[in-house]
C-alpha cells in the first residue's frame, strides 16, 4: 500500500496543488522549495527499495547527501516552525540513508527505511502547508512516476 501511495505523493509534491499562491514567496519559502527538491533526488530509489524495482545501490549515499543539503539550507531559515519541519525532513532523509531496503530473508524494508519515508512525506506535507508554492515545478526528465 505504501509503495502504491508513493507515486501519488511524488506527483503531488512535484506538481503542487491547483490553488497556487501567485504572490512572490518569502525567502524562507524559497529555501523550503530548495529543501523539497531533495525529495525528488531520493524518492525514486526509495520506491525501488520498497519493491517497485531493483534496489538502487547509491540510495544510502544519495539520501545522506540530501539530508546534509537540507540541513545546510535549513540553517538559513528564520521562521522557527519552518526550520523545525525542515530539520525533521533532514532527519527523515538520514533515517532512509541508515535503513535497509528489502532486507533478506523476508524482503521487507526495515523500520528506519519505512519510517524515514513516512516521516519525510509528513514533513514535506507540513512544508507545503506553510509554503503553498513548495514543489510546484515540473518533474525533471527521467524521474519515474509509476512503477515499471
Q: How many residues does the chain have?
A: 148
Whether 33 maps to a domain, the answer reads: yes
Whole-number average pLDDT of the chain: 82
Per-residue burial over 67-84, b if 16 or more Cβ lie within 10 Å, else e, is bebbbebbeebebeebbe
Q: Is the dihedral of CA 87, 65, 42, 10 positive or negative?
A: positive
Range of the domain at 44: 26-130
Whether 81 maps to a domain, the answer reads: yes
Percent above pLDDT 70 for the chain: 72
Distance CA 135, CA 87 (A): 17
What does the H/E/C string look like for 86-134?
HHHHHHHHHHHHHCCCCECCCCECCHHHHHHHHHHHHHHHHHHHHCCCC
Number of domains in the chain: 1
Query: Helix, strand or coil for residue 29?
Result: helix
Whether 14 maps to a domain, the answer reads: no
The predicted-structure confidence for 90-106, as pLDDT tens digits, reads as follows: 999 999 999 988 876 66
Is residue 51 predicted with pLDDT exceeding 90? no
Whether 6 maps to a domain, the answer reads: no
Whether 1 maps to a domain, the answer reads: no
Whether 104 maps to a domain, the answer reads: yes
Q: Residue 124's pLDDT is what?
A: 94
105 cis-preceded (ω within 30 degrees of 0)? yes
Whether 144 maps to a domain, the answer reads: no
Is residue 114 predicted with pLDDT exceeding 60? yes
Whether 21 maps to a domain, the answer reads: no
Amino acid at each position: 500500500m505504501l509503495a502504491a501511495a508513493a507515486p501519488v505523493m511524488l506527483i503531488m509534491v512535484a506538481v503542487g496543488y491547483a490553488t497556487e499562491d501567485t504572490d512572490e514567496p518569502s525567502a524562507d519559502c524559497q529555501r523550503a522549495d530548495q529543501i523539497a527538491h531533495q525529495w525528488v533526488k531520493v524518492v525514486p530509489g526509495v520506491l525501488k527499495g520498497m519493491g517497485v524495482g531493483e534496489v538502487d545501490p547509491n540510495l544510502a549515499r544519495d539520501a545522506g547527501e540530501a539530508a546534509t543539503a537540507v540541513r545546510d539550507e535549513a540553517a538559513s531559515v528564520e521562521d522557527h516552525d519552518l526550520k523545525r519541519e525542515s530539520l525533521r525532513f533532514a532527519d527523515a532523509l538520514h533515517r532512509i540513508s541508515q535503513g535497509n531496503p528489502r532486507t533478506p530473508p523476508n524482503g521487507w524494508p526495515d523500520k528506519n527505511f519505512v519510517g524515514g519515508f513516512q516521516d519525510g512525506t509528513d514533513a514535506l506535507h507540513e512544508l507545503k502547508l506553510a509554503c503553498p508554492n513548495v514543489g510546484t515545478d515540473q518533474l525533471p526528465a527521467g524521474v519515474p512516476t509509476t512503477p515499471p
